[in-house]
């Protein structure tokens, strides 16, 4: 089997998993977008994904995001929508902002302020998600839920931000169902913040779920799932 055929089969399997999870939870498949995480993928594999119609791509490293966006932009074909899904340092905001259609990983007030400042100078609000550490693990970035509640008024008031929703990463678990409570907590926090927000803020997006648990995340309300290893399984 060629690399293209393997990627095609993997993509079909992931899309089928998304459709099945939507069906189980009474949702339309149109409510969920797949973000293909290309961090460890060869560039030719990324090209194969794009040719198969998977044009929403996520990178976790700013410099790789910039280089891949530049390489692929020089080629004719289907336009790609890039998402920044990994930790973003404040000194990399200028690099990322012109490229990323959505930043999933706003994990501190200082980062949010920096993004807002740069976005204002560009005269274009930055579309972002606020990262929440719902599990409380020291190894994870993001606002603690109570910290986000305290900072919410200031975050919501930053003129350079277009806050679209929230993002989280569940802990490593043995079974996908064990991740469900963490996804449910993010959804509940989103609903709570929506209830106390200005009407101009629509927290429609929940970015949660990866290769091992994206179906459970969809069943708990995910609108964006970040899948990488499942798409490139069987390749080396």
pLDDT digits (tens, 9 = 90+) for 68-110: 999 998 787 788 999 999 999 999 999 999 999 999 999 999 9
Q: Where are the alpha helices (DSSP H) in the chain?
A: 3-24, 43-51, 62-73, 93-96, 109-122, 145-156, 180-195, 214-219
Task: Specify whether the CB–CB gap between 53 and 36 falls below 8 A.
Answer: no
Residue that is written with structure tokens 């089997």 in the block: 1
Phi and psi at 57, nearest 5°, equal -120, 145
Segment 118-146 mean pLDDT:
96
Look at residue 86 and tell me if it is in a domain. Answer: yes
Lowest mean pLDDT among 125-134, 136-145, 168-177, 212-221: 168-177
How many domains does the chain fold into? 1
Structural domain containing residue 189: 3-231
Segment 2-23 mean pLDDT:
98
Please tell me the pTM assigned to this model. 0.96
- Per-residue confidence at 11, pLDDT binned at 50, 70, 90? very high
CATH of the domain at 56: 3.20.20.10
Strand, coil or helix: 136: coil
Look at residue 236 and tell me if it is in a domain. Answer: no
Average pLDDT, the chain: 95
Look at residue 74 and tell me if it is in a domain. Answer: yes
Helices then strands, each counted (H, E), the chain:
8, 8
pLDDT computed for residue 77 by the predictor: 78
CA distance 139 to 133: 10
Look at residue 23 and tell me if it is in a domain. Answer: yes
Look at residue 150 and tell me if it is in a domain. Answer: yes
Segment 113-128 mean pLDDT:
98
Question: Residue 234 is encoded by which pair of tokens?
Answer: 């069987």
């Amino acid at each position: 089997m060629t690399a293209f055929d393997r990627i095609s089969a993997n993509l079909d399997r992931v899309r089928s998993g998304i459709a099945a999870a939507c069906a189980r939870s009474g949702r339309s498949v149109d409510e969920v977008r797949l973000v293909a995480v290309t961090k460890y993928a060869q560039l030719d594999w990324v090209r194969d994904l794009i040719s198969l119609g998977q044009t929403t791509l996520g990178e976790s490293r700013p410099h790789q995001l910039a280089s891949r966006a530049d390489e692929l932009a020089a080629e004719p074909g289907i336009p790609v929508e890039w998402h920044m899904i990994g930790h973003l340092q404040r000194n990399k905001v200028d690099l990322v902002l012109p490229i990323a259609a959505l930043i999933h990983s706003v994990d501190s007030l200082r980062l949010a302020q920096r993004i807002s400042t740069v976005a204002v100078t560009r005269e274009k609000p930055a579309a972002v998600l606020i990262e929440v550490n719902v599990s409380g693990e020291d190894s994870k970035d993001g606002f603690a839920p109570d910290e986000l509640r305290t900072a919410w008024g200031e975050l919501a008031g930053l003129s350079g931000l277009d806050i679209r929703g929230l993002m989280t990463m569940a802990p490593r678990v043995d079974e996908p169902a064990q991740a469900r409570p963490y996804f449910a907590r993010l959804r509940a926090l989103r609903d709570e913040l929506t209830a106390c927000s200005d009407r101009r803020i629509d927290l429609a997006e929940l970015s949660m779920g990866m290769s091992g648990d994206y179906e459970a995340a969809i069943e708990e309300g995910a609108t964006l799932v970040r899948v990488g290893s499942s798409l490139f399984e069987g390749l080396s």
